[in-house]
Structure 1
Amino acid sequence: MHRRAVALAVPATAIALTVSSCGSIPEDWRTPAFLRMGEDEVDERLPAVSGEVGEKPEVTFPDMEPPDEEVSGVVQEGPGEEGLVRDDDLVVANFAQYEWSGPGEGEEIDPDQASYETGAPDLIRMEEMPDELAAPLVSQSVGSRVVYVMPPLSEEERTQAESMGQEVPEGATVLVLDLMDRYSSGAVVPGEAAESVGEDLPTVVQDGHSEPEIDVPDTDPPEELTVEPLIEGQGEEVEEGQQVIVQYTGVPWEPDEEGRNEVFDSSWSQGGTPFDTTIGAGAVIEGWDKGMVGQPVGSRLLMTIPPDLAYGDEDTGMGTPTGTLVFVVDILGAVDNPPQPDPEETSEETPEGDGE
């Protein structure tokens, strides 16, 4: 059922990327761009999908009953210039879903929610995808189009899906995914970084695709939020309410009893897997919200955040750091969130007695 829930409720976000982390991945981390379409023919049970990758597809359903097993395939290959999708990547994908109801018959499901309409591609963490959904994507290049067909749900699956509030199609489900971008472990923004941006601010040393070393000066911290670019990005500015895709490391300004400014949180401690979060909406500390909105994608930022914009001066016992904090953040991408459902429509669709 978990597999079905993923397939039937693909989340939507959107992306405005002008910097590709793929281009900054070391050559020895890339998978050779072997293309599979020349070796394997497309399964005839897949609907025919036409149109440019990244634009809304035209789907023609075969003149046959939908298959009673899962079928998937790559119907269009990307150019292979950005490396291939790995099984631990964060992937950006456009998507649309369809119901295949019978021979030659089908229609789009919730067309207003398709990313081609909302401008909100999906962010897919490959490690969290069920194997059968992830397999067709692995080793495919950016710019590829993948099609899945999942047979109609069993009665048990239908009951479970409906209990979760999902709208369940009567026929088979067809999912079209366009691979628009990818972020691999260890991705960083390109460019020559400055190590120092002021004698009273921390210095930063970062060797390629590795966690930055932050040296905090033995001075009083700034009283106000400071945001200094170590690398100036060339992308569009991050907007309030978008998701940002980042690498980051944070240390406290005040040293510990042994005189060290130990890292308290870092995406690098998770193997360098990029972190994504909504910015400017209270999902993270206020210093991040204020510091990143308006910054160009592709920037590496040194942010010094005072306590009132972080976790405060008092130990809450929750394990959060106190005092002024220092972050080094690479803004790899900026991604629009999908439009929120209308509360009135949601209320109208809620069955009477739900939750009682």
Structure 2
Amino acid sequence: MHRRAAALAVPLTAIALAVSSCGNIPEEWRTPAFMQMDGEQLDPRLPGVTGEVGEEPEITFPDIEPPEEELSGVVQEGPGEGELVRAEDLVIANVVQYQWTGPGEGEKVEGQSSYETGAPDLIRMDQMPEQISALLVNQSVGSRAMYVFPPLTEEEQAQAVSMGQEPQTGASVLVVDVMARHGKGSVVPGEQTTDGGDGLPTVTQDGHSEPTIEVPDGDAPEELEIVPLIEGSGEEVEEGQQVIVQYSGTRWEADENGEHPVFDSTWSRGGVPFDTTIGAGSVIKGWDEGIVGQKVGSRLLLVVPGDLAYGETDEEAMGAPSGTLVFVVDVLGSYDNPPPVEPEEDAEGAEDGADEEPAEDEEPAEDEESAEDDE
């Protein structure tokens, strides 16, 4: 469903940055030692942390030098076992980073608190380094974990400088609050109050399986059609948020065999939820217009005319389906994006690029990816 690649770039999480200490330190340069302590055997060298999960924590640094090895621990367990993090989940987490600079001393890293930005990190567990994911897997939603990564060696500091980065001082400390998870095969709760129909496609879905879409005979509607098959009870999706969905799509027009095969679906990828920014041109217009304003927890039938999809493209040449498209979309979650980064000022105090005017006919670069590239 990608439309413009630049808008779909997923921000690097503070977790991934801290694991490598400065972003691109080679694997062989990283400290290999890693100690995992469960909630009953927390390493006494871990900083103290107070405050409720879901609120920015308060950190107390031990009166010792920052350790020379990696430490971690679950400092607060979630309330139950009903929502356990799995190895292939998309996890929603609030993350705060601190620098432990000396005995009893440390500070929060500016700009590295999702509590300040109001935008949680979306973490795909299967893309995280093992020393991050191993601690979180099988922990309950509502758990709080802490990671300590040792100070950079002289060699690592030199590497950071060579890459134009300012080396961090002291040990890096991360506090990760697990707020939610979206797993393989996740669907919205509740029963469908309608299956569509009345001149529109009908939709049936059995449990956590891929929905079946039956397209009727006759002409497709000329306008965007939005039918809530299940109306969610969550907050309304806002323009510019990240949405997490399960979806399946087919064409209104039948193929040469008179059938309507699915051309793209999260279910074809094992039911792994898809995330994207909505209402910002990251996906086709029919999604932007059809999903913004709907409630989280809704299952939507979207009938999208070609001018709000990929147009009347040459499918063989362009790789995108032409004409009217039909989607079933489960809106699993919706989360704020981080605020845009403020332009840095140069040595003379002028903002970078402030004196540059875009060309009048300049348009955002079109994404080279097609719907098939998502599969």
Q: What TM-score do you get using the length of structure 2 for normalisation?
A: 0.81
* Whole-angstrom CA distance in 2 between matches of 1:201 and 1:53: 45
Aligned-pair CA distance for 1:325: 0.3
Q: Secondary structure at the match of 2:288?
A: helix
Q: Which residue of 2 aligns with 1:82?
A: 82
* Whole-angstrom CA distance in 1 between matches of 2:234 and 2:162: 43
| Structure 1: gaps of 5 or more residues | 11-35, 352-356
Q: Secondary structure at the match of 1:210?
A: coil
Aligned-pair CA distance for 1:194: 3.9
Aligned-pair CA distance for 1:69: 1.1
Q: Which residue of 2 aligns with 1:189?
A: 188
* Whole-angstrom CA distance in 1 between matches of 2:138 and 2:197: 44
Q: Which residue of 1 aligns with 2:281?
A: 282
Q: Determine if the alignment matches structure 1 residue 233 to structure 2 residue 245.
A: no
Q: Which residue of 1 aligns with 2:355?
A: none
User: Residues 125-146 of structure 1: CA distance to partner in whole angstroms, max 9, x if unpaired?
Assistant: 0000001111110111011110
Alignment of 1:3-42 (within 5 A): 5=17, 7=19, 37=38, 40-42=40-42
Q: In the alignment, is the contact (CA less than 8 A) between 1:74 and 1:144 conserved in 2?
A: yes
User: Residues 227-270 of structure 1: CA distance to partner in whole angstroms, max 9, x if unpaired?
Assistant: 10000111111000001000000001111111111111111111
Q: Which residue of 2 aligns with 1:342?
A: 342
| Structure 2: gaps of 5 or more residues | 1-12, 24-36, 353-375
* Whole-angstrom CA distance in 2 between matches of 1:156 and 1:4: 20
* Whole-angstrom CA distance in 2 between matches of 1:251 and 1:163: 50
Q: In the alignment, is the contact (CA less than 8 A) between 1:195 and 1:205 conserved in 2?
A: no
Q: Which residue of 1 aligns with 2:97?
A: 97
* Whole-angstrom CA distance in 1 between matches of 2:346 and 2:53: 32
Question: Aligned pairs, how many?
Answer: 323
User: Residues 94-139 of structure 1: CA distance to partner in whole angstroms, max 9, x if unpaired?
Assistant: 11100001111111101x4411111111110000000111111011
Q: In the alignment, is the contact (CA less than 8 A) between 1:216 and 1:253 conserved in 2?
A: yes
* Whole-angstrom CA distance in 2 between matches of 1:249 and 1:152: 47
* Whole-angstrom CA distance in 1 between matches of 2:178 and 2:228: 30
Q: In the alignment, is the contact (CA less than 8 A) between 1:238 and 1:294 conserved in 2?
A: yes
Q: In the alignment, is the contact (CA less than 8 A) between 2:343 and 2:351 conserved in 1?
A: no
Alignment of 1:76-155 (within 5 A): 76-110=76-110, 112-155=111-154
Extract structure 1 runs of 4+ deviating beyond 6 A.
346-351
Aligned-pair CA distance for 1:199: 2.0
Q: Which residue of 2 aligns with 1:311?
A: 310
| Letter matched to residue 332 of structure 2 | L
Q: In the alignment, is the contact (CA less than 8 A) between 2:226 and 2:303 conserved in 1?
A: yes
Q: CA RMSD in A?
A: 2.4
* Whole-angstrom CA distance in 2 between matches of 1:120 and 1:346: 28
| Letter matched to residue 240 of structure 2 | G
Q: Which residue of 2 aligns with 1:18?
A: none
| Letter matched to residue 17 of structure 2 | A
- Percent identity between the aligned chains? 64
Q: What TM-score do you get using the length of structure 1 for normalisation?
A: 0.85
Aligned-pair CA distance for 1:82: 3.4
* Whole-angstrom CA distance in 2 between matches of 1:49 and 1:155: 30
